Structure 1
Amino acid sequence: MEIMDVKTLRSMDERAITEYGIPGILLMEAAASSLLRHINPSLSYAVILCGRGNNGGDGIALAIKLYQMGKEVDVYLLDDVDQIKGDASVFYRVASKMEIPMTILKEEEDLWSFQEALGDADLIVDALYGTGFHGEMSPFTGLVIDMVNEYQEKVMAVDVPSGLLPDQGAPSYYTVRAKKTVTFEAYKKGFFSYAAMPYLGEILVESVGIPKKLKAEMSQSTYFVTEETVRALLPRRAVTGHKNTYGRVLAVAGSQGFTGAAVLTVNAAVASGSGLVVLTSFDDTLKVLAPRLTEVMSLPLEKLESGVRSAQAVAFGPGLGQHRDVYKMLLRTVKILQEEKESQKTLVLDADGLRAMTGKCDLFEEMSFPVIITPHPGEMSLLSGISKEELEKNRLETAESFAKKHGIVVVLKGYYTVITDGERTYVNSTGSSAMAQGGMGDALTGIIASLAGQGLQALDAAVLGVYIHGAIGDELSETRYTVKPSEVVENIPRYLKELLDKTVVRERTSPTVM
């Protein structure tokens, strides 16, 4: 599913009208029909709040449809009738001829009947601004929005909740809080700002009839990841496959006090399908871990170089600790990967591997092989020099800029994890706060490294890995208050099999008649 900014969406509408000859009123009619699909048929009475632009036109078109179905409808306008322009004016004239009740709200005394209507309504539709809000509204409009927000459970926003900046996701002082938002053609870029989330409710994307060819031409290569997105990425297991078919992962992980990070990383790689997983760490750490890792080989740290040469993917950083040796180990790893750049082995950097890079990001320029970094916001702040507060306001832009600058794949973790190589960007749809436990990122690193080792391109491995990780957490959280990282790891093989079963179409041949 696409994610787009307002400028692109408006241009797409204009081209649909001017180049494809689709009348604007047809797009507005389609918008109203799509809104109707998300309204309970048993509804008796709806209040529709409309502005003067296309968003208001969508609202009036919806009012006409509801009225024709025999529903009681009241339309409230915040602008004089002569300010309603373009296609919206067509629907206004139709509604007037049909004698649909329409009231202009101008002064505070007009609000008494409006307040009563809000209380009586089964549904309140916000069709004030949509994408047309630019950051300013009158105090009177703000008062109207405050009144609407007293009934949030009844509110459906058209395209964008009024008062929310659609590109930035920044709410104004007065912003409609919707129970659901029905948005058109694509998710708006600002919907993935944490600041926007309290206002959106459930987000439902509907088409208004923009031609697929036009939409493809105007794609911004930014997508919301769904199960449909990742099915095509899932590696298939060949009938004749053996352990060398499915790649070797080297995990450089663990230290005293942080052995669990190494265990989670390597076990996740095994569970995700790697043919062989090897752990290299400090001698005292390996002595502790070796008896616990029956499916994983161990390698002394002095043999790090040979381990890197043998691997298709290297997971570097989980639980290594924060001391000078970590950066030296990273340099040794990078040196071998660079020497073998023709093989395009993938480096997955996480946790202490990322912290070792703080202030040393120029090292990325020396890496001519695929690199995936998996920072949480704190680590991303250290790497980029951008405060956590600013980063959280601009998650997509920060991740995209950093990835493009350094030629790497960035997995910026958090709710709505962002995965990008600077050219294509994906926002993940899975995962929940039930997964907020130490070690969850280590499991993710193991999953991504495993998928990269099995031959997936770095960006694809990251997109699939993040989705799988979160989807398992979502499933488990349905019956658990919290989800442990080890539980996610245990469920990887089952989830992958279920996903594969949904994906693979088995060829069936009819017997030959003799």
Structure 2
Amino acid sequence: MQKVYHEVNQLDRHCYEAFGLSEDILMENAARAISDAIVQNFSPNKKVLIVSGVGNNGADGIVVARHLHGDYNVSLYLPFGAKSPMCVLQLQRAKQLGISIVEKIEDGYDIVIDALFGTGLNKPLNSRAVEVIEQMNALSGFKIACDIASGIDSEGEVEGVAFEAHTTITMGALKKSLFSDKAKEYVGEIEVAHLGVTRRLYEAYDTSIFLLEKSDMRLPHRHKANTHKGNYGHVHVIVGEQEGAGIMAAMSAFRFGSGLVTAVSPSKPANLPLYLMHSRSIGSHCSALALGMGLGDFDLSKILELDIPMVVDADMFYKDEIKQLLNKEQIVLTPHPKEFVSLLKLCNIADISVGELQSSRFKYLELFSTQYPNIVLLLKGANVLIAHQEKIYINTLGSATLAKGGSGDVLAGLIASLLAQNYSPLDATISASLAHTMASRQYTKNSYAMTPLELIETIALLKV
């Protein structure tokens, strides 16, 4: 996993003070990362348009123009001029080289570089800025954002418009604002530019936010020869009024390695797969429990007294009884935004709308994790956020393929399966979430077509 920071000013200052690097040196390296990416992917003489703002992000863009000048057909556009000392200096150097400075945006460029605002954007865009960004988006060339796509503010919010990048090359370290749900629509592929020292040296300070990678997933492969089903746990799934949800979770748990899976309901569902067992109650042999999916009205009194690993989903987030679980160990919660809003209200943490949550997902996840640090909470979304012990882990690997009823039921089953196989709640949630999202990317049919059963089968075929 990689470190993610709220902002990197402190890291820059550390470079100045500890390593003797100047602002100019960091800027040269930032620009070199972008120009190298262009050289590696585009042949010489391609037409490049760089749109630069008034501050140091704009200065980065001007330095990119200098690095490419002579090998590429570079045009520089400064719709608001140059104001910061570094921007003024870099513009002077560009003029001395004879770099073309244009007065308007026209089509015909192979590459478009956005260096307008960077991560320093802290106020709404004015009408002229909106116009410039819309003009850049209308261009047909390959689009690269310098640090972050212009229009995304320091909290990852987008008010109306933002640059639609194919690739974002961010400077020095990953920033939280790159990973909001709204930002995902604009940032494209994210790369980190080294600024004159390795990332290990640049990222000198601790952080509470981390980006998950494929290598963080630990699938429940079986390596022992002398083993039996009892070694892989026994999941119980509460099957409520909407039977299909619980059954899909149970099927998912079985397919992800649990040795035994029992569906718990007052009467045996007619469509229960043959490999799943049925019981009217939770037995003493239960290793992990999944509840909430399609629950409806269900007697929870005995369930809430249990001290076993649990994954809690869906209907449970609208029931006051959920508060009885929040001071237990080994509890994983998996709400979508509307369910999390309900949970926040039940816990007297916040009374907000879904829109307010989506504008500040990190903030409210941090508030919840501070109050309930032992709970693992997975907040669903375009980017999945997992909170535990006041740390947040980001999973960006999901796709729109998962935007289907039943996907969350499958995820609950995956987590329960790993809990039953003696994964810690955090490890179970991370590995299950990564398997869930990576399967969505490996699905080979049309993006609108995946069913929960196909998702389960794709997870079974994961290769990493």
Could you tell me the TM-score, scaled by structure 2's length? 0.88
Partner of residue 114, structure 1: 104
Match of 1:274 among 246, 251, 258: 258
**RMSD of the TM alignment (CA)?**
2.6
Q: Distance in 2 between matches of 1:230 and 1:333?
A: 30
Q: 2:323 aligns with which of 350, 353, 362?
A: 362
Count of residues paired in the alignment: 454
Contact 1:243/1:275 (CA < 8 Å) preserved in 2? yes
State yes or no: 1:372 paired with 2:332: yes
Q: In the superposition, relative to structure 1, how do residues 437 and 23 fare at CA in structure 2: closer, same or farther (>3 Å)?
A: same
The whole-number CA distance in structure 2 between the counterparts of 1:71 and 1:270 is: 57
Report the CA distance shift for 1:374/1:21 in structure 2 as closer, same or farther (over 3 A).
Answer: same
TM superposition shift of 1:57: 2.2
Equivalent position amino acid for 1:487 in 2: E
Q: Which moved more, 1:209-218 or 1:119-128?
A: 209-218
Change in Cα spacing, 1:265 to 1:163, as seen in structure 2 (3 Å) is: closer
- Shift of residue 268 of structure 1? 1.0
Contact 1:32–1:59 (8 Å) recurs in 2: yes
Q: Cα distance, 1:173 vs. partner?
A: 5.3
Look up the equivalent residue of 2:291 and give its one-letter code. Answer: F
CA distance in 2, matches of 1:479, 1:142: 34
1:350 equivalent to 2:313? Answer yes
- Structure 1: gaps of 5 or more residues: 104-112, 338-344, 500-514
The 5 A counterparts of 1:16-165 are 16-39=15-38, 40-42=41-43, 43-68=45-70, 70-78=71-79, 83-86=83-86, 88=87, 91-102=90-101, 113-115=103-105, 118-135=106-123, 139-151=127-139, 153-165=141-153
1:395-450 deviation line (CA, Å, top 9, x unaligned): 22222322332231111112212111142212222332223322221111111001
Instruction: Tell me if 1:251 matches 2:237.
Output: yes
Matched, 1:398 2:364: yes
TM-score, normalization: structure 1? 0.80
Q: Are the counterparts in 1 of residues 264 and 279 from structure 2 also a CA contact under 8 Å?
A: yes
Give the 3-state SS of the residue equivalent to 1:195 in structure 2. Answer: coil
* Rounded Cα–Cα distance in structure 2 between residues aligned with 1:366 and 1:158: 44
* Alpha-carbon offset, residue 352 of structure 1: 2.7
Percent sequence identity over matched residues? 29
1:428 corresponds to which of 377, 395, 409: 395
Change (3 A) 1:133 1:378: closer
Residue 12 of structure 1 corresponds to 11
Determine the C-alpha separation between the residues in 1 that align with 2:51 and 2:122. 18
- C-alpha distance in structure 1 between counterparts of 2:459 and 2:133, whole Å: 46
Deviation by residue 1:54-79 (Cα, 9 ceiling, x = unmatched): 212211221111114x2222223345
Instruction: Please give the alpha-carbon distance, in whole angstroms, between the structure 2 residues aligned to 1:398 and 1:316.
Output: 24
Separation in structure 1 between the aligned mates of residue 126 and residue 417 of structure 2, nearest angstrom: 55
Distance in 2 between residues matched to 1:32 and 1:421, nearest whole Å: 37
Q: Aligned partner of 2:32: which letter?
A: S
- Structure 1 pair 185–312 and aligned structure 2 pair: CA distance change class (3 A): farther
Name stretches of at least 5 consecutive residues in structure 2 with no aligned partner: 346-351
Matches within 5 A, 1:96-245: 96-102=95-101, 113-115=103-105, 118-135=106-123, 139-151=127-139, 153-166=141-154, 168-172=155-159, 175-231=162-218, 237-245=223-231
Give the direction of change, closer, same or farther, for the CA distance of 1:442–1:247 in structure 2 (3 Å limit).
same
1:16-68 Cα offsets, whole Å, 9 max, x none, are: 12112233323222211211243242252222222343212211221111114
- Between the aligned partners of 2:252 and 2:185, the Cα distance in structure 1 is 34
Shift of the 147–278 alpha-carbon distance from structure 1 to 2, 3 Å rule, reads: closer
Which of the pair is proportionally richer in helix? 1
One-letter amino acid of the structure 1 residue matched with residue 248 of structure 2 = L
1:135–1:163 Cα contact (<8 Å) kept: no
Distance between the aligned counterparts of 2:437 and 2:357, measured in 1? 22
Gap change, CA 1:38 and 1:174, over 3 Å in 2: same
Please state if 1:294 is matched with 2:274. Answer: yes
3-state DSSP of counterpart to 1:120: coil
Instruction: Determine the C-alpha separation between the residues in 2 that align with 1:24 and 1:332.
Output: 63
The 1:422/1:482 distance shift into structure 2, 3 A limit, reads farther
